[in-house]
Amino acid sequence: MNILFLSLFSFHSINDRGIYPDLLREFKKNHHIIYILSPIEKSLDKKELIICEENLRIVRVATGKIQKTNIIQKGINTLLIEKRFIKAIRKNFSTVRFDLVLYTTPPITFANVVKYIKKRDNAKTYLMLKDIFPQNAVDIGMMSSTGFMSLPYRYFRVKEKKLYAISDRIGCMSPANETFIIAHNPEIPVEKVKLCPNCIEVHDLSLTSSERDKIRKKYELPLDKKIFVYGGNLGKPQGISFIIKCLKTQIDNPNVFFLIIGSGTEYGKLQGFFDENRPCNMRLLGKMSKEDYDNMIVSCDIGLIFLDHKFKIPNFPSRILSYMQAGLPVLACTDPNTDIGRIIVEGGFGWWCESDDVEKFVEIVEKIINENLRAIGKKGFQYLNKHWNVKEQYFQIIKEIGMI
């Protein structure tokens, strides 16, 4: 089976670790041939880059900056993706006939690319819905759904519905995602919408106490404190103002250490807090290599998830997977519309509070200090292996599209 994968994920190798490389490796293990279109963002003048391996071909298409840039530049380049991807397909895959097209959101502007391949090759089409746009932009004030300023929203909403219509299956990250999509798009047949959670190739990364201490010494982390770690994007979706409020309550807590790792449009706000307060029990680090990040995460005690309280769409951040694989319990501070907190609590591998409740955050932190974190983290690893293992996702996808 020939599979075309479309994504804004920047592929360097299928052997990288992450939700998309892990899934595509699983397809490749089962003797499918993989073709990938992936962006090069840095320069519009940079030529196409082609990577060839056995049963794999990656074409990296120059798209201009799409992620971690201003909304105008992001919007323009997002609109041009379809044209650039179709051109790349015609140039590089003119003689290939695809059986299945896999694609993700963001962006929602893949509809014409998918339509082109579906018509040309009679291919099956499967959308892995990772982002509900443009509603998420409305939720955090980046777009308006009413009045004169609603034109961008209405334009992208048409694009969104077109993508849903062309898709044979829409895979959602959680039950709340399924419910939201069906409720807000009644024209979609219910049987088209399926559960397709974020999944990874699971490895046991747990450490002994001596191994953990060795890594902490390497990165100059305290040996005698409970380390809370957040790793990922630091933008409007994370509700940085709430994060800062939470950190302020912990400056004088001698039992904890907060480690924030990442980059994004709101990084400067956090940097300002650190510059002003110079907390001894906290550290802010910019983007780092995946190897260093993974080593640092596995030596910590609790993984943090933050989502802005204004969200109406049910986000489900994939960073939870790296925490669970490292055997870390999870503390999620989110809006009430996502079900990530309910899943964490019902699964017994962490805690949840709403991301406008600083007092509840403080209460949970005090509770965590006295918990058996290894036992709770082990439950998370077991849940990950049972429910979010990439092998299960692979079989689910090919079953739903009728390939087995």
pLDDT above 90 (res 361): yes
Q: Which residues contact 286 (CB under 8 A, 6 or more apart)?
A: 261, 262, 263, 267
Query: Which bin fits 40, alpha (ψ -120 to 50), beta or left (φ > 0)?
Result: beta
Q: Which residues contact 281 (CB under 8 A, 6 or more apart)?
A: 222, 225, 250, 251, 253, 254, 256, 257, 258
pLDDT above 80 (res 42): no
The pLDDT-based confidence of 342 (bands split at 50, 70, 90) is very high
pLDDT above 50 (res 131): yes
Residue 328 near residue 297, CB atoms below 8 Å:
yes
Predicted confidence (pLDDT) per residue in 196-248, tens digit: 999 999 998 888 889 999 999 998 999 999 999 999 999 999 999 999 999 99
pLDDT above 70 (res 72): no
Residue 37 near residue 59, CB atoms below 8 Å:
yes
Residue 241 near residue 308, CB atoms below 8 Å:
no
What's the CA gap between 211 and 248, in Å, rounded? 31
CA atoms within 13 A on the CB side of 192: 20
pLDDT above 60 (res 43): no
Residue 68 is encoded by which pair of tokens?
């971690």
pLDDT score at 44: 46
CA atoms within 13 A on the CB side of 170: 31
Question: Who wins on pLDDT, 10 or 220?
Answer: 220
pTM score above 0.85: yes
Compute the average pLDDT of residues 319-323: 95
Compute the average pLDDT of residues 326-339: 96
Share of the chain above pLDDT 90, in %: 71
pLDDT above 50 (res 108): yes
Residue 252: exposed, middle, or buried by beta-carbon count in 10 A (0-12, 13-18, 19+)?
exposed
Residue 112 is encoded by which pair of tokens?
């014409």
Domain 2-201+389-400 has CATH 3.40.50.300: no
Q: Which residues of 93-103 are buried (b: 16+ CB within 10 A; e: fewer)?
A: beeeebbbbbb
pLDDT above 70 (res 67): no
Share of the chain above pLDDT 70, in %: 94
209-386 shares the fold of 2-201+389-400: yes
- 84 secondary structure, DSSP code: H
Average pLDDT of the chain to the nearest whole number: 90
pLDDT above 60 (res 46): no
What residue segments make up the domains of the chain, in order of their start? 2-201+389-400, 209-386
Q: Give the SS3 label for residue 254.
A: coil
Listed range (52-56, 90-94, 186-190, 263-267) with the worst mean pLDDT: 52-56
Question: Who wins on pLDDT, 26 or 288?
Answer: 26
What's the CA gap between 70 and 142, in Å, rounded? 11
Compute the average pLDDT of residues 363-386: 95
Q: Which residues contact 73 (CB under 8 A, 6 or more apart)?
A: 64, 65
pLDDT score at 277: 95
Question: What's the CATH code, domain 209-386?
Answer: 3.40.50.2000
Compute the average pLDDT of residues 172-184: 96
- 233 secondary structure, DSSP code: E
